[in-house]
């Protein structure tokens, strides 16, 4: 059973870059041809999809964040990563990594999810 | 973006009640809709996909319906474990994927 675990700094200064890693266990990140996503949720608010990466390294991003976001994959470490540059307080949120539930292109729902990691942007 | 609008935002109900949450899409998404349950401090949990397919292990009291622009999540007989926040998600378009704003189901 595939499990995901987010890791990274819990506190980032304004204007700096937020960097998180999602480690996949229970299976290879390269197997099955899945997309791997990042999703965030400000405290008390709804869910926002940030973007996704394919096993080949192909990416898709939310247009509202595209200029600041980079998602990459490292199959050798069974990990994928998120970088958000030039952060502000508005980027303070719980960040989740998740796998799309079905392989291949197009759109899918998310399952499983990581437990989430809280990132606060503050000086 | 495809906008997803849930109603109501808050729903007060009692154990044993039958409740329905509605999710409307700003354009047709066929049956490309999922429902999640989220409890405080936890990641969302998949309940329903393809509008009406119940995820393995999810109690049979949960059901989903609809197509096009209007969808429902129904809990046939509320149990204490069901009080949580529920989100719909469209995956007709991944540019971008979008979620509803959430419906908080609270104990009356």
Give residue-wise pLDDT tens across range B22-35: 999 999 999 999 99
Q: Which residues lie below 8 Å from residue B41, measured CB to CB, with a gap of 6+?
A: none
> Given a cut of 90, is residue A94 above it in pLDDT?
yes
pLDDT surpasses 80 at A18: yes
φ/ψ (deg, to 5) at B53: -90, 125
Task: Name which of A29-33, A111-115, B83-87 the model is least confident about.
Answer: A29-33
Can you tell me the mean pLDDT for A18-35? Answer: 94
| pLDDT over 70, % of chain A | 100
**Residue A9 parent element (H or E):** none
Per-residue model confidence (pLDDT) at position A117: 98
Distance separating the N- and C-terminal Cα atoms of chain B? 35
CB B38 within 8 A of CB A41: no
Structure tokens at A57: 């390294």
Beta strand pairing status for A35-41 and A48-54?
antiparallel
**A33 confidence band (pLDDT: 50, 70, 90):** confident
Which tokens go with A35? Answer: 């997309």
- Residue identified by tokens 């989430």 is A116
Interface residue ranges in chain B relative to chain A, Cβ cutoff 8 Å: 1, 32, 34, 36, 42-46, 49, 55, 87, 89-102
Residue A45 above 80 pLDDT?
yes
Give the pLDDT confidence of B33-61 residue by residue, as tens digits: 999 999 999 999 999 999 999 999 999 99
Q: Name which of A62, A96, A111 is nearest B96 (Cβ-Cβ).
A: A62
Q: Which of A51, A64, A110 to mutate to test the interface with B (most CBs of B within 10 A)?
A: A110
* pLDDT beyond 90 at A73: yes
Could you tell me if B44 and B35 are in contact, meaning their C-beta atoms sit under 8 angstroms apart?
Answer: no
pLDDT score recorded for residue A102: 84
Q: In whole numbers, what is the pLDDT of chain A averaged over residues?
A: 96
Residue of A6, A107, A117 to mutate, testing the B interface (most B Cβ within 10 Å of its Cβ): A107
CB A6 within 8 Å of CB A95 = yes
CA distance B21 to B102: 10
């Amino acid at each position: 059973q595939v499990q995901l675990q987010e890791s990274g700094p819990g506190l980032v200064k304004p204007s700096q870059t937020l960097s998180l890693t999602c480690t996949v266990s229970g299976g290879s990140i390269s197997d099955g041809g899945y997309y791997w996503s990042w999703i965030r949720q400000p405290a008390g608010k709804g869910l926002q999809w940030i973007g996704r990466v394919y096993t080949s390294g192909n990416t898709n991003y939310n247009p509202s964040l595209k200029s600041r976001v980079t998602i990459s994959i490292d199959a050798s470490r069974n990990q994928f990563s998120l970088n958000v540059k030039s952060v502000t307080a508005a980027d303070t949120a719980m960040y989740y990594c998740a796998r799309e539930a079905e392989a291949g292109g197009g759109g899918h729902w998310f399952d499983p999810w990581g437990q989430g990691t809280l990132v606060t942007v503050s000086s | 973006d495809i906008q997803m609008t849930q109603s109501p935002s808050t729903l007060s109900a009692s154990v044993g009640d039958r409740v329905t949450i509605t999710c409307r899409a700003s354009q047709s998404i066929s049956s490309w809709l999922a429902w999640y349950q989220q409890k405080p401090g936890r990641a969302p949990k998949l309940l329903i996909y393809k509008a009406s397919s119940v995820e393995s292990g999810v109690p049979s009291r949960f059901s989903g319906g609809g197509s096009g622009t209007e969808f429902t999540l129904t809990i046939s007989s509320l149990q204490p474990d069901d009080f949580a926040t529920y989100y719909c998600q469209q995956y007709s378009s991944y540019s971008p994927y979008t979620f509803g704003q959430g419906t908080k189901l609270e104990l009356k």
